[in-house]
Structure 1
Amino acid sequence: MPCRAARRLYKTLGRRGCFLAILGTGKTCWGVSFLVAPPGDRGLKLLTQLCDLRHWSWLWIICGLITFGSAVVRVGRDWFGFAAAIIPPTVWALAYTHAVITGDYSRGGFVALWYLTSHVGVILWAATVPEYSVPRVPRPARRGKAA
């Protein structure tokens, strides 16, 4: 029974929807972690000059919920989820890049590259993946027994 439910959910969501659901859950959880126990602001002074990291956590949470909600939207209209998914890691990458340029956090360049490759790059790639793959090659017909 659980396998049937999982197959039905996968069929409903499709490949892109599954990706958006997983990504949205992850971004929401990441945002909640900033809300519950915010880390140090090392490298994020550009953001913390505007407001506290607890406030910035809502960017992750809201974008994560939008991304998750876009999982059930029809292909072609799910672009909104991919766009929402890109926003938080791009903001963080910009903040870390700014920290490197100003000399506040020398390691920030590596963190910025990590956000740009493992987050933004993967999201941009997944947005181009088609929902339907090439169909399987049909099996040749079996030969019947002569009567």
Structure 2
Amino acid sequence: MRYAAAARRVNAHLGRRGRFLAFMGVGKVCWGVGLIVEPPAPEGLELLTRFGPLHCWAWVWIIAGTVTFGSAWVRFGQDRFGFLAASVPPALWAWVYGWAALLGHYPRGVFIFLWYITSHCGVIWCASRVPPGGGRRPLVGRAVEGSPD
């Protein structure tokens, strides 16, 4: 029972935005570690690898994920840094793949660009617009079914 109560307290403290940031933070750290353990093929990422090897760029994901996860635990408004940190790596990867596609070096890059912009950045940006209550209207001033009013 103690674990369930602790889980409820953590869940209530995080709220919708915090749960999203915690989830995204863990995912970004895992993605970064995966880039170190098993680097992807460098096609389309030449612009990044011109400035450093992929294992160095993996740390961008890891650091961003750590900031994103840490931001899950702060108040509404202060969590904006988590959404910003969550957006940086996928936006960077999207831009690099898109650039490679525009130059004709990696035609598939246009699809990877669209995937990062929609399924990563778009989702993060939409989640950043969710109000702290998750969009639920407060019950103040409204009669609630079953209330003694």
Q: Does the alignment reach a TM-score above 0.5?
A: yes
What's the offset of the Cα at 1:42? 1.1
Aligned to 2:130: 129
Q: Distance in 2 between matches of 1:87 and 1:141?
A: 47
Aligned to 1:76: 77
**Percent of pairs with identical residues:** 51
Aligned to 1:85: 86
Runs ≥4 residues deviating over 4 A: none
The amino acid across from 1:138 in the alignment is: V
Aligned to 2:113: 112
Deviations for 1:6-41, whole angstroms, at most 9, x for unmatched residues?
A: 221110111100000000000010000011111111
Secondary structure, aligned partner of 1:74: coil
Give the alignment's TM-score, normalised by structure 2.
0.90
Larger mean CA deviation between 2-11 and 107-116 belongs to 2-11
The amino acid across from 2:59 in the alignment is: W
**Which of the two has higher C-alpha Rg?**
1
Aligned to 1:9: 10
Q: Distance in 2 between matches of 1:3 and 1:11?
A: 12
What's the offset of the Cα at 1:44? 0.6
Q: Does 1:101 align with 2:102?
A: yes
C-alpha distance 141-24 of structure 1, shift in aligned 2 (>3 A):
closer
Deviations for 1:60-119, whole angstroms, at most 9, x for unmatched residues?
A: 000000000000000011001001111000100011011101111111100000000011
The amino acid across from 2:58 in the alignment is: S
Number of positions where the alignment pairs a residue of Structure 1 with one of Structure 2: 142
Q: Distance in 2 between matches of 1:141 and 1:126?
A: 33
C-alpha distance 130-39 of structure 1, shift in aligned 2 (>3 A):
same
What's the offset of the Cα at 1:135? 3.8
Q: Distance in 2 between matches of 1:113 and 1:3?
A: 40
1:42-53 equivalent positions in 2, closer than 5 A: 42-53=43-54
Q: Distance in 2 between matches of 1:40 and 1:53?
A: 10
Q: Distance in 2 between matches of 1:139 and 1:4?
A: 28
What's the offset of the Cα at 1:3? 3.2
Q: Distance in 1 between matches of 2:107 and 2:5?
A: 50
1:20-39 equivalent positions in 2, closer than 5 A: 20-39=21-40
Larger mean CA deviation between 6-15 and 52-61 belongs to 6-15
